[in-house]
Structure 1
Amino acid sequence: MSEKEKMLNGHLYQAYSRELYQDREFCKGMLYEYNRVSPMDKDSRDLILKKLLNCKGELCIEQPFYCSYGYNITIGLNFYSDVNLTILDQGGVSIGDNVILGPNVNIYTASHPYNEVQRIKGLEYAKPVKIYDNVWIGGNVTILPGVKINQGAIIGAGSVVTHDIPPYVIAVGNPCEVVRSITKEDVHKNW
């Protein structure tokens, strides 16, 4: 099994293998281009993102944007991210339709073993992150490896999401905890 296959299957892998290093270098080159294209040149920005990510349709990722590989990120329809989105996508990140991310959101799938000898050898592992449809994630949120944020959930600004979030709830804090369910009355509120 190659190091890339190990990475994609959740096994310990050597992050500095030649293949993975080359994949990251390619991604860095694409991001260098993306982050330097005029914000007014939407066509060029879209073209770069479609080469780098698995996009189902139109999306808007405000510059700058950072990720590890790009090919491990799948994004649904009608996606918007404000500035400074960082996705460490070693384990795969799946984002549904109609998702909104505030500024400075960090999505991490990579982690390191507790054993110091394994860390010194450059070994790491990754767990996928899944964000379902119609999720809103506030600014300065960090999502840790293996987390699922279910349909219609709202994550408050500054939260650190360490475990799965159920559907149709508002969750906030460090660690992020459910505050309440989203109700029918919320539809009629003017924020």
Structure 2
Amino acid sequence: MAAPSNSATAATAAADPFLAKIPSTPEELAENKRRLESGELYFAFTPDLVADRRRCAQACHLFNQAPRDSPRRDLVELWKKIVRDETPMPPQAATPEEDEALFEDQPWVELPLRADYGFNIVLGKGVYVNANSTWIDTVPITIGARTLIGPSCSFYSGGHPLDGKVRNGIKGPEFGKPIVIGEDCWIGGNVTIIPGVTIGAGSTVGGGSVVTKDVPPGVVVAGNPARVIRKIE
């Protein structure tokens, strides 16, 4: 996604009376949440959103502190707390091997990780996420089934105005744009994906790349900014 121009962002903010102060009333907080979800400028440091991030930080801490030899059941349960998935866990199987098999389609997420909200992370069946991932999940980040993600990858679905006076540190507005990664992709290590990017099914992103615009299906991209290197036959 191309970043908005300084003048365009400043003009939008100046014309919007909602951005004159941080929301505080129930009605203003509800409108703030609506704006967040719709990709408009909103305020991130309101009590409700701060509370959501603190909940997620605690859930991530518990996940990251899990023993390395934890059973899959324990890790899946801790992950479900991060993403706020309240689907009941299946009953314990008769043997450890049979119990592990119950979770074969669940995403496999290595620790440690960091996320903002958690509940905006949507991982398909059989997704693998290597260690040290970062999820700025201001709005949904959706990863298709069987996609593989290398270590130290970062997914940034939140952004800030370019105009410093509008941005105004933690007292200013932000925005969110969804990230969508298709099925059967391979995201190499240390890749960064910025707000609003869609990566088509079956594509590969080379290690160390910064993905700043949409990637079509079935191609290899690499670089900063990432560009198409070749099609996958």
Normalization by structure 2: what TM-score? 0.75
> Is 1:24 aligned to residue 53 of structure 2?
yes
Match for residue 230 of structure 2 among 161, 165, 180: 180
Which runs of structure 2 are paired with 1:98-137 in the superposition (5 Å)? 98-120=146-168, 121-137=171-187
Distance in 1 between residues matched to 2:178 and 2:149, nearest whole Å = 18
More strand by share: 1
- The Cα of 1:117 is off from its aligned counterpart by 2.4
Is the 1:133–1:151 contact (alpha carbons within 8 Å) kept by the matching residues of 2? yes
Distance in 1 between residues matched to 2:145 and 2:184, nearest whole Å = 6
Match for residue 217 of structure 2 among 167, 178, 183: 167
Which runs of structure 2 are paired with 1:1-191 in the superposition (5 Å)? 1-41=30-70, 42-53=72-83, 57-120=105-168, 121-183=171-233
SS in 1 for 2:180: strand
Larger radius of gyration: 2
Which runs of 4 or more aligned residues in structure 1 lie more than 6 Å from their structure 2 counterparts after TM superposition? Answer: none
Distance in 1 between residues matched to 2:195 and 2:38, nearest whole Å = 14
Q: Residue by residue, what CA displacement relative to the aligned partner does 1:165-191 show, whole Å, maximum 9, x if unpaired?
A: 0000011001100000001xxxxxxxx
SS in 2 for 1:19: helix
Q: Residue by residue, what CA displacement relative to the aligned partner does 1:93-129 show, whole Å, maximum 9, x if unpaired?
A: 0111001000000000111012222211331001000
Distance in 1 between residues matched to 2:217 and 2:84, nearest whole Å = 24
- Structure 1 residue runs of 5 or longer lacking an equivalent are 184-191
- The Cα of 1:54 is off from its aligned counterpart by 6.8
Amino acid at match of 2:146: N
More helix by share: 2
Number of equivalences: 183
Is the 1:54–1:74 contact (alpha carbons within 8 Å) kept by the matching residues of 2? no
Identical aligned pairs, as a percentage? 36
Amino acid at match of 1:172: A
